[in-house]
Structure 1
Amino acid sequence: MWHSKKVTEVITEMGVDPGAGLSSSEAEKRLEQFGPNEFRDHKKTAIWKLFFSQINSMLIYILIAAALISLFIGEYSDAAIIVLVILLNSVIGVIQETKAEKALEELKKLATPKAIVKRDGVVQEIPSEQLVPGDIVVIDAGRFIPADIRLIETANLKIEESSLTGESVPVDKDADWQAAEEKVPIADQHNMAFMSTLSAYGRGIGIVVNTGMNTEIGKIAALLGDQKQEMTPLQVKLAELGKILGIGAVLISLVIFLIGFFQGRVALDMFLIAVSLAVAAIPEGLPAIVTIVLALGVQRMIKRRAIVRKLPAVETLGAVSVICSDKTGTLTQNKMTVTDVFVNGTYAPLASLKLENQYEKLFFEALVLCNDAVVTTAEQSGDPTEIALVAAAGTVGIDKQLLDHRYQRVREIPFDSERKMMTTVHQNKDNFLVMTKGALESLLPKAATVILNGQKVPLSRTETERIISQANAMSDKALRVLAIAYKEVPQVADLSAEELENNLTLLGLTGMIDPPRVEVKASIVQCHNAGIKTVMITGDHQKTAFAIAKELGIASSDKETMPGNEIDTLTEDELKEKVKKIRVFARVSPEHKVKIVKALKANGEIASMTGDGVNDAPSLQQADVGVAMGQSGTDVAKGAADIILTDDNFATIVAAVEEGRNIYQNIKKAILFLLSCNLGEIITLFFAILLGWPTPLTAVHILWINLITDTFPAISLGLDPDDPDVMKERPRSIRESIFAHGSGLFTLINGAIIGFITLFAFIAGLAFYTGSESLFTIDFADVPQDALIHAQTMAFITLSVSQLFHALNLRNQHKSIFQVGLFSNKYLLASILFGISIQAALVNIPFFNNIFAIHFLTIKDWLLILALSLLPIILNELWKAGKRIL
Structure 2
Amino acid sequence: MRDGLKGLTSEEAQSRLKAEGYNELPRAGHRSLLRIALEVVREPMFGLLIGSGVIYLLLGDHTEALILLAFASISVIIAIVQESRSERVLEALRDLTSPRALVIRDGERERIPGREVVRGDIVVLGEGDRVPADAWLIAATDVQADESLLTGESAPVRKVVADVESRASRPGGDDLPFVFSGTLVVRGQGLAEVQATGPRSEIGQIGQALQAIDHEPPHLTQETRQLVRVFALFGLAACALTVILFGLWRGSWLDALLAGIALGMSMLPEEFPLVLTVFMVMGAWRISQARVLTRRAAAIETLGAATVLCTDKTGTLTENRMSIVCLAAGAEMLRLEPRREGSLPERFRCLVDYGRLASAPDPFDPMEKAFHALAAQFGRGEGHPGRKEELVRTYGLRPDLLAVTQVWKVPGTDDCRVAAKGAPEAIAALCRFDPEVLAALARDVDRMATEGMRVLAVAEARFRGEDWPTSPKGFAFTFLGLVGLADPLRSSVLEAVRECRSAGIRVVMITGDYPATALTIAGKAGLDTDAVVTGDDIEAMSEAELSRRVASVSVFARTMPAQKLRIVRALKATGAIVAMTGDGVNDAPSLKAADIGIAMGGRGTDVAREAAALVLLDDDFGSVVKTVRLGRRIYDNLRKAMGYILAVHVPIAGLALLPLLTGLPIIFSPIHIAFLEMIIDPVCSVVFEAEKEEKDIMRRPPRAATSRLFSSGLVLWSLLQGALAFGVVAVLYLLALQRGMPEGDVRALTFVSLVLANLGLVLVNRSFDSSVREALRWDNRALWWVSAATAVLLSIALAWEPARGLFRFGPLHADDLAVAFGAAIGLVVVLEILKRFWRGWLTA
Give your verdict on TM over 0.5: yes
Q: Does the 8 Å CA contact 2:645/2:684 hold for their aligned counterparts?
A: no
Counterpart code for 2:215: Q
Determine helix, strand or coil for the equivalent of 1:124: coil
- Local SS of the residue matching 1:271: helix
Is 1:788 the counterpart of 2:777? The answer is no
Say which is worse superposed, 278-287 or 361-370, in terms of deviation. Answer: 361-370
Q: SS at 1:627's partner residue?
A: strand
CA gap 1:270/1:818 in 2 versus in 1, 3 angstroms: same
Q: Residue 653 of structure 1 is aligned with which of 605, 608, 624?
A: 624
Q: CA deviation at 1:748?
A: 1.4
CA contact (8 A) 1:549 1:555 kept: no
Superposed, which structure 2 residues align to 1:375-774 within 5 Å?
A: 381=363, 387-391=369-373, 394=374, 400=377, 402-404=379-381, 466-467=440-441, 469-471=443-445, 480-482=455-457, 509-511=482-484, 519-520=492-493, 522-534=495-507, 553=527, 557-558=531-532, 586-588=559-561, 593=565, 607-616=578-587, 625-638=596-609, 641-708=612-679, 711-712=682-683, 715-740=686-711, 742-770=713-741
Q: Which of these residues, 788, 805, 825, is aligned with residue 850 of structure 1?
A: 805
1:877 is aligned to 2:832: yes
The aligned counterpart of 1:238 is 224
Tell me by how many angstroms 1:846 deviates.
0.6
Structure 1 stretches lacking a partner, 5+ long: 1-39, 139-144, 149-163, 165-193, 202-211, 215-220, 427-433, 448-458, 487-503, 771-786
Instruction: Pick closer, same or farther for the CA change 1:716–1:386 going to 2, 3 Å.
Output: closer
Matches of 1:881 and 1:666, distance apart in 2:
19
In structure 2, the partner of 1:229 is: 215
Q: Is the 8 A contact 1:625 1:642 kept in 2?
A: yes
CA shift in 2, pair 1:717/1:390, >3 Å: same
| CA apart distance, 1:800 | 0.5
8 A contact 2:315–2:620 mirrored in 1: no
SS of equivalent residue, structure 2 residue 759:
helix
Matches of 1:580 and 1:688 in 2, distance apart? 60
CA distance 1:874–1:372, shift in 2 (3 Å): closer
State the match for 2:819 in structure 1: 864
- Note closer, same or farther for the CA distance 1:481–1:693 as it changes in structure 2 (3 Å cut): same
Helix, strand or coil: the match of 2:778? coil
Task: Report deviation, 1:375.
Answer: 11
1:80 aligns with 2:119: no
Deviation at 1:680, TM superposition (A): 1.2
For residues 87-145 of structure 1, give each alpha carbon's deviation from its aligned partner in whole angstroms, at most 9, with x where no partner exists: 2343233324444667587744176532679x9x998356676266555469xxxxxx9
User: Which residue does the alignment assign to 1:29?
Assistant: none
What is the CA distance between 1:827 and its match in structure 2?
Answer: 3.3
CA distance in 2, matches of 1:229, 1:445: 47
- Cα deviation code 1:822-867 (max 9, x no counterpart): 1332432443344233212210011211222222212222222222
Q: 1:851 to 1:726 in 2, by over 3 A?
A: same
Distance 1:277 1:333 in 2: 61
**For the structure 1 residues 125 and 474, does the alpha-carbon distance in structure 2 shift closer, same or farther, using more than 3 Å as the test?**
farther
SS at match of 1:510: strand
The one-letter code matched in structure 1 to 2:667 is P
Offset of residue 798 of structure 1 = 0.7
> What amino acid is the match of 1:87?
I
Q: Could you tell me how far 1:751 is from its partner in structure 2?
A: 0.7
C-alpha distance in 2, partners of 1:544/1:53?
57
Q: Describe the SS at the equivalent of 2:185.
A: coil
Shift in alpha-carbon separation, 1:284–1:703, aligned structure 2, 3 A:
farther
Q: Is the 8 A contact 1:341 1:347 kept in 2?
A: yes
Q: Cα deviation per residue 1:507-548 (whole Å; 9 max; x = unaligned)?
A: 85324588875644653443343233456678x589799769
Partner of 2:169: 130
1:473-528 CA distance string (max 9 Å, x none):
66899955425899xxxxxxxxxxxxxxxxx9998532458887564465344334
CA contact (8 A) 1:51 1:90 kept: no
- Name the aligned partner's letter for residue 795 of structure 1: T
Look up the match of 2:85: 92
Per the TM alignment, residue 351 of structure 1 is displaced from its structure 2 partner at its CA by: 7.3
Partners of 2:446 and 2:516 within 8 A in 1: no
The CA distance in 2 between the partners of 1:272 and 1:827, in whole Å, is: 34
- Residue 798 of structure 1 aligns with an amino acid whose one-letter code is S
Alignment identity in percent?
A: 22
Aligned mates of 1:600, 1:515 — CA distance in 2:
29
What whole-Å deviation, never above 9, does each CA across 1:367-421 have from its counterpart, x for those lacking one? Answer: 4444546999xx9648876543455xx5xxx853535479797798999979999
- How much is the aligned-residue C-alpha RMSD, in angstroms? 5.7
Work out whether residues 688 and 759 of structure 1, in 8 Å CA contact, stay in contact via their aligned partners in 2. no
The verdict on how the C-alpha distance between 1:441 and 1:47 changes in structure 2, with shifts beyond 3 A counting, is closer
Q: Is the 8 A contact 2:351 2:458 kept in 1?
A: no
Aligned residue in 1 for 2:27: 44
* Other-structure match for 1:279: 265
Q: Does the 8 A contact of 1:114 with 1:127 survive in 2?
A: no
Change (3 A) 1:709 1:98: closer
Gapped regions of structure 2 (runs ≥ 5)? 1-22, 57-64, 100-113, 116-129, 141-157, 191-200, 396-400, 411-416, 462-476
Go from structure 1 to structure 2 and tell me whether the alpha carbon gap of 1:82 and 1:604 turns closer, same or farther (over 3 Å shift).
Answer: farther
Query: Compared with structure 1, are the counterparts of its residues 557 and 862 closer, same or farther at alpha carbon in structure 2 (3 Å cutoff)?
Result: same
Q: 2:307·2:578 contact (CA, 8 Å) conserved in 1? A: yes
Contact 2:312 2:509 in 1 (8 A): yes
Contact 1:531/1:731 (<8 A) preserved: yes
Q: 1:633 to 1:353 in 2, by over 3 A?
A: closer
Question: Aligned in 2, Cα 1:195/1:301: closer, same or farther, shift over 3 Å?
Answer: closer
CA distance in 2, matches of 1:597, 1:254: 53
The equivalent of 2:198 in structure 1 is none
Q: How far apart are the structure 2 equivalents of 1:814 and 1:643? A: 31
1:113 aligns with 2:136: yes
Partner residue in 1 for 2:303: 317
Matched letter for residue 318 of structure 1: G
For the 8 Å contact 1:484–1:509, the answer to whether it is kept is no
* Structure 2 CA distance for aligned equivalents of residues 620 and 44 of structure 1: 24
Q: Which amino acid aligns with 2:759?
A: L
Aligned to 1:694, the other structure's residue is in SS state coil
1:620–1:279 distance in 2 versus 1, CA, 3 Å: farther
Q: CA deviation at 1:271?
A: 3.0
Q: What is the CA–CA distance in structure 2 between the aligned matches of 1:820 and 1:599, rounded to whole Å?
A: 44
Identify the residue that residue 802 of structure 1 maps to in structure 2: 757
The alignment's TM-score, normalised by the length of structure 1, stands at 0.65
The farther-off stretch of 328-337 and 639-648 is: 328-337
The 8 Å contact of residues 49 and 670 in structure 2, kept in 1 or not, is answered as: no
Counterpart-to-counterpart distance in 2, 1:342 and 1:711: 67
Question: Match of 2:733, as an amino acid?
Answer: F
**AA of the residue aligned to 2:220:** L
Q: How many residues are paired up?
A: 714
Task: Report the equivalent of 2:472.
Answer: none
Shift of 1:242: 1.1
Question: Counterparts of 2:739 and 2:51 in 1: how far apart (Å)?
Answer: 35
